[in-house]
């Protein structure tokens, strides 16, 4: 945990450093007439100061002091479910415009239910169809929100 905390702190420090460097490429100006880069520059420096404080605090912190202080979420026995879930979400975003809203919503729910262990195809398809149809009527027909039609054209 302590090692993880230090790594995260270093990553945040790098983020602050990158912000600082990129800000320096913009117009900085003076305090009276600050340029576009002034505010992010100050923030980048502030983030570097805060993250170095955090990292050094963690580095010098005793083992006993650290244990049990901060809660973290339990990790799964298998991260495969999470990867597949994330992958399906990404695919849905990738093909959202091409497939159109009704088809994407149907396939997304179908895929996610399957990944989460709803193995009965009948139930899986029923939930997906009802959800896709319900959200189609709610958003497109009732609220009149323009959604991608995709190749099916509805």
List of residues contacting another protein (CB under 8 A): 4-5, 8, 12, 15-16, 19, 22, 26-27, 30-40, 43-44, 46-47, 50-51, 53-54, 57, 69-77, 79, 81-82, 85-86, 89-90, 92-93, 96-97, 101, 105, 108-109, 112-113, 116-118, 127, 131, 135, 139, 143-147
Q: Can you list the pairs that 39-44 forms with residues at least 24 positions away whose Cβ atoms lie under 8 Å?
A: 43/16, 43/19, 44/16, 44/17, 44/18, 44/19, 44/20
CA gap 96, 106 in Å, rounded: 11
Choice between 63 and 143, CB closer to another protein:
143
Q: Can you list the pairs that 83-87 forms with residues at least 24 positions away whose Cβ atoms lie under 8 Å?
A: 84/115, 85/112, 85/115, 85/116
Query: Cβ of residue 121: shortest distance to another protein, in angstroms?
Result: 15
Q: Which two tokens stand for residue 58?
A: 């963690």
Query: Cβ of residue 67: shortest distance to another protein, in angstroms?
Result: 14
Task: Name the one residue in this structure whose structure tokens are 């195809």.
Answer: 121
Query: Cβ of residue 43: shortest distance to another protein, in angstroms?
Result: 5
On whether the CB atoms of residues 41 and 23 are closer than 8 A, the answer is yes
Query: Cβ of residue 94: shortest distance to another protein, in angstroms?
Result: 9
Choice between 53 and 121, CB closer to another protein:
53
Choice between 25 and 63, CB closer to another protein:
25
Choice between 123 and 152, CB closer to another protein:
123
């Amino acid at each position: 945990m302590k090692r993880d905390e230090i790594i995260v702190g270093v990553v945040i420090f790098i983020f602050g450093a990158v912000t600082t460097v990129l800000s320096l490429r913009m117009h900085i100006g003076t305090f009276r007439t600050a340029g576009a880069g002034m505010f992010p520059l100050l923030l980048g420096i502030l983030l570097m100061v805060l993250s170095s404080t955090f990292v050094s605090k963690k580095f010098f912190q005793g083992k006993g002091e650290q244990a049990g202080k901060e809660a973290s979420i339990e990790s799964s026995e298998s991260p495969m479910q999470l990867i597949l879930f994330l992958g399906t979400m990404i695919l849905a975003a990738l093909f959202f415009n091409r497939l159109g809203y009704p088809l994407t919503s149907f396939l997304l729910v179908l895929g996610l239910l399957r990944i989460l262990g709803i193995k009965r195809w009948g139930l899986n398809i029923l939930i997906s169809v009802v959800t896709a149809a319900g959200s189609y009527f709610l958003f497109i027909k009732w609220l009149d929100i323009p959604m991608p039609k995709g190749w099916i054209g509805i």
